[in-house]
Amino acid sequence: SSGINAEYGEAARDTMSFVRLWCYMGRFTDAINTCNETGDRAACFHLARQLENHERFAEAVSFYGKAKAYSNATRLCRANQMDNELISYAMYSNVDDMVQCAEYYE
């Protein structure tokens, strides 16, 4: 059992390492494919931050969602008038984010 856990831990570290490297190299397609294949939340979060830094907001929101970083997703949606996406992520957010989203629509 501990061997299996070690393998999963190593695979997760490898996934994150690959995603970091590909982002650093500007190979976002490879990073996106890896995140989509693995669903690794930490890697998805890292990729989302990098996509946001490169102003690829729609993709960033998607990967914040996959990372379950709903506060980040709703923040980015509000900042970029992504109203349809905002509604879907607001439902999963905490109460404070829901209030901010409601105020956004006022």
Q: What is the value of pTM for the model shown? A: 0.83
Question: 65-74: long-range contacts (C-beta < 8 A, 24 or more apart)?
Answer: 65/89, 66/35, 66/39, 66/41, 67/41, 67/42, 68/41, 68/92, 69/45, 70/94, 70/97, 71/97, 72/45, 72/48, 74/100, 74/101
Question: What does the mean pLDDT of the chain come to?
Answer: 87
Task: At 20, list the tokens.
Answer: 């970091």
What kind and span of H or E run contains 49?
helix 41-53
pLDDT for position 6: 45
pLDDT tens digits for range 26-63? 999 999 999 999 999 999 999 999 999 999 999 999 99
User: What's the confidence (pLDDT) of residue 2?
Assistant: 44
